[in-house]
Chains A and B, each alone.
Chain A
Amino acid sequence: MFERSDPKITSTQAAIFLTNTVLGAGILTLPRSVTESAKTPDAWISVLLGGGIIMLVIVLMVKLSQQFPGKTVYQYSRQIAGSIPGSFLSMLLIVYFIVIAGFEIRVFAEITMFFLLEGTPIWAIVIPFIWVGGYLVFGGINSIARVYQIIFPVSIFVLLLCYFFSGRLFDLNHLRPLLGDGIMPVLRGLKSTILVYTGCEVVMTITAFMQHPQQAVKAMLTGIGIPMVLYLITVVMSIGGLSVDSVITSTWPTIDLIRSFEISGFFFERLEFPLLVIWMMQMFCNFCSFFFNASLGISQLFKLKMAPIIFGLMPFIFLATMVPVRINDVFAIGDAIGKMGIGIFFLLPVLLSLILIVRRKGLKQNV
């Protein structure tokens, strides 16, 4: 009973899988990127609105995947669009996942080198991370989902604890006026919130692994709802605690928020260290999701075994991590990923759904 050999996950595991895929480095820079473009304290509305849009996107992705039970996007894209275009779209998705995997590790490494392990060479942080990630990915979807189930409550608890204590800096006036400049700043902020939801494309693969695919919509909406709420709390607490002007000028606003107070007498006086250490596990989950999805894609696309692909991908992920030279390049890649995410959205779920509808309804084909 406790051993399962079939690669299936429960609905709860699927929800946590999505949460842990989306929730990662973004939370540390989100308050800045969104207030930079919104320039008003209404940035939190952008996060809510962005989350709402992403939820619709996810429903579309799930509905599409549910048409092909047990098949991932890499398999059904060829069925829908034909072998070559389908493979091309899958390749795009794979490259996209590798780039995000590299980006996540890079952000993680930058923060670790700046705040935690000053003087540690970047490869000493990145390479073990990739190796351990590889080990987890070897275990397949079941092992990954179980690790996520263990890490998820711990990291969320620590994060919420930090925000709870940051309440002492909170000033409601920093969040006012509400919609002082109208709705435009909120819409401007919207484009920065897209980046923090990138990675939700994994929905198109995890649905295939679900034991009860009919519950997929509910599970995936829960899975994206959790990061959405956490992002909202992050932006509200950062702006409320530091004010818009301070958030804009801070490279890592969320960490600066936690660094702006000390709790004498508590178990930890400085909460940024427990937060960073715990968040490291969260970023590990994040990275493993993309690693897994990229290797799964290659495996299904070229009908190869997983093991050699996992090894084969490691150097590519390492390269993707090391390509940016400066921190500006890292953030530029972050922006590029956001734009790629939008492109991927139109090319995969939207285009595939359209083709599917045309072929099924219009041409009455049996796809």
Chain B
Amino acid sequence: MYRHRLFLTFLAAALLLAETGCWSSNEIEDLSMYTALTMDTGQPSQVEQTFEKEGGSYFKDNKITVTIEIVPKQSYENSNKTADTGAKAHNYVNISETGDSVLEILRQFAIRLDHPVIGHHLKVIVISKQLLQEQRIQDLMDFVLRDNDIRPSCLILMSEGRAADILKTKYGDEIPAFHIRGMTRNRFRNNRIMKGIITSELDALMYAKKTFVLQNIVEANQEVEFSGGGVIKGDTGKWIGNLDQQDIESIAWIKGEVKGGTLKTYNPDHKTVTYEIKSAKSKISAKMNKDHQPVFHVNIESEGRLIETWKNPGLSSKKEYLEKLQEIFEERLAAMIQSLMQKMQSDYKVDVAGFGDRLAVEEPQEWKKLKDHWDETFSRTPVTFDIKLKITDFGSFIE
């Protein structure tokens, strides 16, 4: 009996041998997490050129330059130390490599860095406009969609200039990727910010060969700004043109995605008047006319506040004045939307404001026939608008 127990005790103790931890675990301190990834046209950096001169090259074509922003483990120590001395050191390291396979490039970092890079915390992917003119977005994003580390919640953006320049900041210990992610949360303040396309949505758009808009980001003197969007044509997967900030606003109005922001115009005296959007709704209705061509009507309704009005003395906040202003704002919005329609239907011949999606819902049979050449069909499609803005109050100042 005693022996039997002793044997069991040893057997149980032997289990401890298996308790050495996870099978293939990696300590977090030994990993380099990258929070942003950018893609540019292939231009080897100074360092890479020197490496190549020294014989550091392999079988490749310099098609793309991938830059990743690594948030190193030392960041925490650094930020504490530099706080004392007053000097500001960055909390991130940007590193570039050129080649023609995204994964090969990422693996190539392993022969330059002491820690392997992992994509679990990738927040934003920025692709430069120039690269999107040269390569199909389907090819560029293929690895990202297949990889198991990179999450489908990752945000995709386009940059006007070189994408790698976006990953710089002059605000001390800030991390650019988090900064950009934070900017997208400001939609309730400014409707020039798009809802943003995340990887799982991009997947659907590319599969359905739909034309879409990527938020465009511009950089100047280590500061960044969202500036309109780049139109990516569905069937070619390439960049065909830009939309400006105002067009992004108009798209939000048409799609009913306005969450806040302003509408500014000038009153008959050429003085500034600003409307603060409190709520906005939109409804696109699709119909087929007698010739089996689609016809759209968009109904936009909004309520808001007269928040700023520069005026000549003598004018008052009377009801007639408000109604006059309402009309002026409506005209302004109509003009903005017309300018977008002009770009969509005549300049680029694309639909990026959700008209096709609406037709698919309302007339699924007709949509099936039209969807393969929808962009072309849309450029000939009549769209009418009905815009109603209502100024419900004028803030805490009354004359």
Contact = CB atoms under 8 A, between A and B. Distances in A.
A262 interface: yes
B24 A119 contact: yes
Contact of B203 (A115, A117, A250): A250
Contact of B152 (A120, A244, A260): A260
Interface in A89-128: 114-115, 117-120, 124
Contact of A118 (B148, B205, B362, B368): B148
Interface string A159-194: 000000000000001001100110000000000000
Given A173-B357, A177-B360, A177-B362, A260 B208 contact: no
Contact of A115 (B22, B23, B148): B148
Contacts of B357: 173
A180 B365 CA distance: 7
B270 to A, nearest CB: 42
B364 interface: yes
A249 B203 contact: yes
Given A118-B24, A246-B200, A249-B207, A256 B360 contact: no
Contacts of B361: 173, 176-177, 180
Interface in A240-283: 242-246, 248-250, 256-257, 259-262, 270
B365 A261 contact: no
A162 to B, nearest CB: 14
A180 B208 CA distance: 17
Interface string B362-386: 1011011000000000000000000
A119 B200 contact: no
Interface string A72-92: 000000000000000000000
A248 B361 CA distance: 19
A117 B208 contact: no
A177 B363 CA distance: 8
Contacts of B360: 177, 180
B24 A117 contact: yes
Nearest to A121: B23
Contacts of A244: 204
Nearest to A248: B207
A231 B357 CA distance: 26
Contact of B200 (A114, A115, A181, A242): A242
Contacts of B199: 260
Prevailing SS type, chain B contact patch = helix
B287 to A, nearest CB: 15
B201 interface: yes
Interface residues of A, number: 27
Interface string B126-154: 00000000000000000001001001110
B298 interface: no
B146 to A, nearest CB: 9
Q: Which of A245, A250, A261 neighbours the largest number of chain B CB atoms within 10 Å of its CB?
A: A245
A246 B207 CA distance: 7
A120 B26 CA distance: 13
B300 interface: no
Interface in B331-382: 357, 360-362, 364-365, 367-368
A245 B207 contact: yes
Contacts of A180: 360-361, 364-365, 367
A262 B123 CA distance: 11
A181 B151 CA distance: 33
Q: Which of B24, B200, B357, B365 neighbours the largest number of chain A CB atoms within 10 Å of its CB?
A: B200
Nearest to B23: A120
Nearest to A272: B151
A262 B22 contact: no
Contacts of B201: 242-243, 246
Given A177-B361, A246-B204, A250-B203, A256 B23 contact: no
A244 B210 CA distance: 13
Interface in B187-218: 198-201, 203-205, 207-208
A356 B153 CA distance: 57
B259 to A, nearest CB: 15
Given A117-B22, A245-B204, A246-B200, A256 B364 contact: no
B293 to A, nearest CB: 19
A164 B153 CA distance: 17
A260 B155 CA distance: 10
Contact of A119 (B23, B151, B364): B23
15 contacts: A117-B24, A119-B23, A120-B24, A124-B23, A177-B360, A177-B362, A180-B367, A245-B203, A245-B205, A245-B208, A249-B145, A250-B200, A256-B152, A260-B198, A262-B153
Given A245-B205, A246-B201, A250-B200, 5 more contacts: A114-B148, A119-B23, A120-B24, A173-B357, A180-B360
Interface of B: 22-24, 145, 148, 151-153, 198-201, 203-205, 207-208, 357, 360-362, 364-365, 367-368
The 3 closest A-B pairs by CB, nearest first: A180-B364, A119-B24, A246-B204
